[in-house]
Structure 1
Amino acid sequence: MDLDIPRPKEKTIDPFTQEEADLIIDRLYATDHWPSGIYAAFFEFAFYTGMRLGEIAALQWDSVELEKRRVLVRRTVALKEVEDRTKTKKDRYVLLNDRAVHALEFAKAYAERRAKGSGRIKEFPHCFPPSKGHQFIQQTSDLHHQWRPTLKALGIRYRPPYNARHTYATMCLMAGMTPAFIAKQLGHSLQILLSRYARWIDGEGDWTEMGKLKIAPKLARSET
């Protein structure tokens, strides 16, 4: 008799709250070491666009259209190299809210200041160049050096930086945005979004839906 082969369990979705996200961002911006401020902009952009970390690290100014408030996602960082592809092998536009625009404006001012300094890197085609001598963030360990101490200092339960993407998705769902739009922003299929974030899609709306069913209780018959 054939046995059912169990499928691997999908990782639990464990987003931050919006309040936690803002605390993390504010703490990173408050650094005394000004070159490290770029990581604050990086994570503000991550929390408020939902882009994958590799996509943000690979984002270049030639893919940014601030006047149209959008970026073209067409590159990612893999094995310390920028590759002209995304995880899904499909380019997509991501629309920018005010927080994402703020992160890019900070990054632009940061790059201009870096270019005037004494560092060996003078050209900054990438939006979020690390504070050391590279043009782009090459590996997630560079992010963890900023991430872990920040969460510890704030007393926020540890979750990996990738969960910024989950945070954006759940914030959008709880704000009432349509799943189809959110899936497009994230570069997901609608089916994946619906299965992965089902409990945020249902959530508080469940009892609202139940309330649409009007059923009057029957009166108990008295015993004769």
Structure 2
Amino acid sequence: MGRKSMGLPDGVEARGEAVRIRFTWNGQRRSEPTPHKPTAKGLASAGSLCARVKEMIKLGVMTDDMYAQMFPNSNYNLDRKTPTFGEFSQTWLNSRDIVKETRDNYLAILNGVWMPALSSRRIDDITSADIRKIVASIEWDSPGIRRNAMDKLSSVLATAVMDGHMSRNPCKSMPRAKLPKRQVDPFERDEAERIIASMYEALIGRTQIYAAYFEFCFFTGMRPGEVRALKWSEVSEEKKRVHVCRQIVKGQLVERIKTKTVRDVLLNDRALHAIEVARSMASDGAEFVFTTAKGPGSWIASDSTTKKYFMASLVRLGIRRRRQYDCRHTYATMCLMANMNTAFIANQLGHSVQMLLSTYAKWINSTSDWAELSKL
């Protein structure tokens, strides 16, 4: 039985609960889904849509973008179709040269914050007002999380602008949230010495490696993840330096460091002493410098392990609780108080000089305050 005898309008076909329309465009037969149901009213509407499409094609006014708007669920790949936010975000993410942990973080932000509202939107249709509405509708856990989400969205849209899909980045009209900067809270030199001595005295057996670990942290300023990832092959006791080229992130070795720039850190006598202690405790074939495990391929995966011994020492000595990361700040401030060259300190820490000056301005000033006052 033909279509006419079934009462279907020309170019309309019903497939189960779906209704499609058929026509020829650019020399190809097309069959596209419609939002209509196979009822009398739905079939009539589909027939009207089909007639309108054929008339637009006949008049030569059907464009790629118009086709995409009329048939958003089409399988037809338009050569010049403007991508949706979801499509472009996936392309953007795939093109990034980043480690798995960073990729997972980006993906979680995109899927958790922006995809629910923007995934099917053409990327050039997204406006600043749209973004403001989304931001206002979310109960953010902290200003930092909100800013991080905005930064990722801005990166995606900035790339879309460079690729010619958008004329401007709608995030540019939205000011970047300012966050209170975490205060640097270093230990006094005397406190650092007491912590190290207490650990060497209290820890026995293989756990004494943690005393050497913190002596090394206090007197090199290396990041905790960099110290835990340090291998014997990167230690030169003769040249008094170590090569910093990897870190541990969430228990996994990552073959890069935070600033993505490898560096050599020069070792003072105290750092060399820590290396000597670690060397005396190292088992045959040990790969990593600071580890309690025997054999190759073992590292301290979590900072909770070192934290346990560190906090126990602070409690034992009655020293105010601070983070392990403050060992790094302690090294930086000790160097500054000793009037060492700022460029040298910045290189040791893996900072830019500008970052060093902004982070430790208080201690830089304090080294010269009394000298300046004496000029009066």
Query: With structure 1 as the length reference, what TM-score do the two structures score?
Result: 0.85
- Unaligned runs of 5+ residues in structure 1 are 116-121, 215-224
Cα distance in 2 for residues equivalent to 1:160 and 1:82? 22
Cα distance in 2 for residues equivalent to 1:38 and 1:103? 9
Tell me which residue corresponds to 1:100.
271
Cα distance in 2 for residues equivalent to 1:30 and 1:206? 38
Tell me which residue corresponds to 1:222.
none
Tell me which residue corresponds to 1:123.
285
Distance of aligned partners of 1:207 and 1:10 in 2 relative to their CA distance in 1, 3 Å threshold = same
Tell me which residue corresponds to 2:184.
13
CA contact (8 A) 2:293 2:299 kept: no
Identical-residue share of aligned pairs (%): 46
Give, as a single letter, the amino acid of the residue that structure 1 aligns with 2:339: G
Stretches (4+) displaced over 4 A: 2-6, 131-134
Tell me which residue corresponds to 1:48.
219
Give the alignment partner of residue 75 of structure 1, picking from 225, 246, 263: 246
Shift of the alpha carbon at 1:3? 8.9
Give the alignment partner of residue 364 of structure 2, picking from 195, 198, 201: 201
Cα distance in 1 for residues equivalent to 2:317 and 2:202? 14
Cα distance in 1 for residues equivalent to 2:242 and 2:270? 14
Shift of the alpha carbon at 1:206? 2.0
SS of corresponding position for 1:94: strand
Cα distance in 2 for residues equivalent to 1:131 and 1:28? 19
Cα distance in 1 for residues equivalent to 2:294 and 2:185? 31
SS of corresponding position for 1:88: coil
Cα distance in 1 for residues equivalent to 2:371 and 2:175? 38
CA contact (8 A) 2:286 2:294 kept: no
SS of corresponding position for 1:46: helix
Shift of the alpha carbon at 1:31? 2.5
Tell me which residue corresponds to 1:157.
320
- Structure 2 residue 350 is matched with structure 1 residue 184: no
Tell me which residue corresponds to 2:47.
none
Shift of the alpha carbon at 1:5? 5.4
SS of corresponding position for 1:30: helix
- Unaligned runs of 5+ residues in structure 2 are 1-172
Distance of aligned partners of 1:200 and 1:153 in 2 relative to their CA distance in 1, 3 Å threshold = same
CA contact (8 A) 2:337 2:363 kept: yes
Distance of aligned partners of 1:20 and 1:132 in 2 relative to their CA distance in 1, 3 Å threshold = farther
Give, as a single letter, the amino acid of the residue that structure 1 aligns with 2:254: E
Tell me which residue corresponds to 1:220.
none
In the TM superposition, what whole-angstrom CA distance separates every residue of 1:183-216 from its partner, at most 9, and x where no partner exists? 000000000000000010011412322444x6xx
Give, as a single letter, the amino acid of the residue that structure 2 aligns with 1:86: I
The structure number with the bigger radius of gyration is 2
CA contact (8 A) 1:38 1:131 kept: no
Tell me which residue corresponds to 2:332.
169
SS of corresponding position for 1:183: helix
Shift of the alpha carbon at 1:149? 1.0
Cα distance in 2 for residues equivalent to 1:62 and 1:19? 33
SS of corresponding position for 2:292: coil
SS of corresponding position for 1:203: helix
Shift of the alpha carbon at 1:154? 0.4
Aligned length: 203
Query: With structure 2 as the length reference, what TM-score do the two structures score?
Result: 0.52
CA contact (8 A) 2:248 2:254 kept: yes
In the TM superposition, what whole-angstrom CA distance separates every residue of 1:119-144 from its partner, at most 9, and x where no partner exists? xxx63110001358971110110111
Cα distance in 1 for residues equivalent to 2:305 and 2:184? 23
Give, as a single letter, the amino acid of the residue that structure 1 aligns with 2:271: A
CA contact (8 A) 1:36 1:131 kept: no
Cα distance in 1 for residues equivalent to 2:202 and 2:373? 49
Give, as a single letter, the amino acid of the residue that structure 2 aligns with 1:67: E
Give, as a single letter, the amino acid of the residue that structure 2 aligns with 1:124: A
Tell me which residue corresponds to 1:141.
304
Give the alignment partner of residue 89 of structure 1, picking from 260, 281, 284: 260
SS of corresponding position for 2:202: coil
Cα distance in 2 for residues equivalent to 1:14 and 1:127? 27
In the TM superposition, what whole-angstrom CA distance separates every residue of 1:153-174 from its partner, at most 9, and x where no partner exists? 1000000111000000000000
